[in-house]
Every structure is written in structure tokens, then in C-alpha cells.
Amino acid sequence: MDNQSLLALSEKYGNPIYVYNTEKIISQYNRMTNAFSNVPKLKINYAVKANSNINILKVLNTLKSGVDCVSIQEVKLALEAGFNVKDIFFTPSGISFEEMETATKLGVQITLDSLSVLEKFGAKYSNIPVCLRINPHVMAGGNHKISVGHIDSKFGISIYQIDGIKNIVEKTGLKINGIHMHTGSDIYNIDAFLTATEILLNTVKEFDTIEFVDFGSGFKVPYKEGDIETNLEKMGATLSNRFNEFCKEYGRELTMIFEPGKFLVSSAGSFLVKVNVVKPTPNIVFIGVNSGLNHLLRPMMYDAYHHITNISNPEGEEKIYDVVGYICENDTFGSNRRISEVSENDVLCIHNAGAYCFSMASNYNSRFRPAEVLVHEGKDYLIRKEENFEDLLHNQIVLDL
């Protein structure tokens, strides 16, 4: 999507606004399936938490994707979007057993990640096969907050607790039909991922009822020109060969599963904001925009980098700016950024805004969450209206005091 197209959408729908391009989602999905095309049984499960707009889900459903859900609400969204129950995988952490029971009644694939829940589940639902999420104790990921496979992580059952798992299985008669891991996000170190893979496959050997192996995801996408990214094609070739070899050792053709979120939708999204003020100070020139951490939290939460361009003046002389929001916190989208000269009312584009952006938005400072637009096959569609004041009050009970 070029600058003029984005400016036209900003003019048509207003801003701040999220814009998603399905062409990019489709190309990323195809890139992933092509990278692992040598695996006879491959399944891609989109991680709904990355972007849960029902129209994004419907696009992925047309591609024959499955979904990875971490809450019962995501499961119900997937069903609403038309996904077959057999394509919905439920991989929560630390939820109530009541939520687990609801998912079980809906018939989705359940993944368990603690010994206590495994025992409780086995005692009540020994006839329902489950997947196990293990913790391989491998440090991988671009930030400690999104590294989830290390020894101090809350996620998964430790590889040192395999005997405990087997005791519960023997006692309850529970069938384990899958083994799962997720080491973290923004992984570009293939060796770290392959190390975790060997641990995962060794765990599979402990059970003779496995039907699929879920490798998680977290592949690194580029956030700016020249940025590093996961060499997916190289990883695909190496990991596919190892997996096919393992299936022969195991004596059964297993399904290889990945659960990408950011990889599929990050680069498909643009976040358009308007410049409210250009504010020079003795040290810094601030660009104050009509948005903040209430709309896009990643830079403040993870120190995440999002490339920022001035689409109103793309050929202007580059100057150094700090791009900041309007929230009463330090909500800085980017520091010391080279951006084409900015004036008030210019429209800036914050790139790679398709994943973990709107899905983490809030009403902090009683601000409205923004609209979302989908560009599909050359046409644009409003897929979420901007909130209004009535929306803020909708679920509040106003007392007559």
C-alpha cells in the first residue's frame, strides 16, 4: 500500500486508524507453507491473540488455516468466524478449570501446561486426548518479556517433570496426542530453536500415542530496512528434514504444527496518526500525535521498534524527532528518528502495526479505541468503528447518588 492510498483512507475514515492489507497476510501464509512444503502433514494455526478482529480470522479461514486460542473468548470468536472445531487449538495458561471445561464441551483440541491441571483433567475426562505444553528450558526471543521457554518461565511443564506426567497418564488412562512448545517471540537464532526442537522430539519419544508436534512460532520479522529476520527458508529446509527423519524413527507420520501470529499479520498493518503539535525544546524536537500507549502499547511495554514515516511529506528533508503521544505517561513511539520534515496536521504511518497493536489497545485516559479498516482485493472496508462516548458508558452502572 503506497502513501497516497493510505492518505486516501485517512481522509475517508479519519485517524487514528488501523489499516490491514489481506494481500500481505496471504503472502506470509504462503511463504510459511512453502518453507515447510517437504513435510507431508503440515498445519498452520494462526495465533488469534495477535489480532482478533473477526474479519482477519475469516481471511485466514479461507486459507485453510487453523487457529491457536488462549482464552475461551478467542475460541468462540473462531467459531463465529466459521472455523471447524477440529481446527481450533486451545493453549491457555493458568486459567480456571471451569474455562477448561467449557472448551472441552465445545470439542476443541486441549493443551495442558501444569501437572495439577493434567491430573484434574485426567480424573474427569480420561476419554479426551490432550496435548502437553512442555518447557524446554531454552532462552530464545527478542526481549525477556516475550521469552517464554526458559527455566524461570510460567509456561509449560518442565522437561524435568516427565516422570510426573507419565505417572498421571498411567493412573488416569489419559491419552497424550500432542507435544507442544513455544520458546518466545522475535527468534532469529535458528540454532537455539533447533536445540529446543531436539528436546521437544525427545519428549515425544516418551509417549507412543502422539499424533502431532506443535513447534510454536515467534519467527522474527523485519521492522525496518536492513533489519534482521528469521531465515524461514533455511529453517524450513533444516527442520523439515529433521522432522521427516524423526517420523521414520517414531514409526508414524506425525503432523507438524506452527502457531504464528506476528509473522502472518505484523507487516500487513499500518497505524495512521495525525500530528497535533511540533514542539522544539533545547535538546529535542517532539512530534505530538493524536494517539498514545492506549492505542499502541508495544514500544512502551517491550521497547519494540516500529518504523515511522511521514506520508504527507515523504520527500521532505529528513530531521531528527521524538514521536510521542497524548497520554499522561511517557508514551514515546520512537526516539531520535530520522523522519521527513514534519508539520502540524501531517499524517504519520507507524509500520508493522498488524500484530499485538489494536489487540492490546485500551480506554486509558478515557480515550476511545480507534477504527480498523481492511483492504481486500483492492477494496477497503470499515471492520471496526471508532468508539464514542456512549461506548465508554455502555457497561457502567450509573448510580443515583
Catalytic (active-site) positions: 328
Q: Across the strands, what pairs with 132? A: 112, 179
Question: What's the CA gap between 149 and 151, in Å, rounded?
Answer: 7
Question: Helix 54-62 crosses helix 72-80 at what angle (to 10 degrees)?
Answer: 60
Q: 398 near 380, Cβ under 8 Å?
A: no
Amino acid at 294: N
Q: Give the three cell numbers for residue 363.
A: 480506554
| Closest CA relative to residue 211, chosen from 171, 180, 241 | 180
Helices and strands (DSSP H and E) totals, the chain: 12, 18
- Is the peptide bond prior to 16 cis by the omega test (within 30 degrees of 0)? yes
3-state secondary structure of 162: helix
3-state secondary structure of 345: coil
Amino acid at 56: I
CA angle 369, 370, 375 (to 5 degrees): 145
Please report, for residues 20, 162, 249, 250, 258, the alpha-carbon distance to residue 202 in angstroms, rounded to integers and kept in the order given.
40, 11, 11, 10, 18
Question: What's the CA gap between 196 and 400, in Å, rounded?
Answer: 59
The H or E element that residue 29 is part of is: helix 22-35
3-state secondary structure of 378: coil
Question: What's the CA gap between 166 and 180, in Å, rounded?
Answer: 16
Question: Helix 97-106 crosses helix 72-80 at what angle (to 10 degrees)?
Answer: 20
Look up residue 272 and give its DSSP letter.
E
Question: What's the CA gap between 312 and 275, in Å, rounded?
Answer: 10
| Closest CA relative to residue 76, chosen from 96, 48, 95, 42 | 48
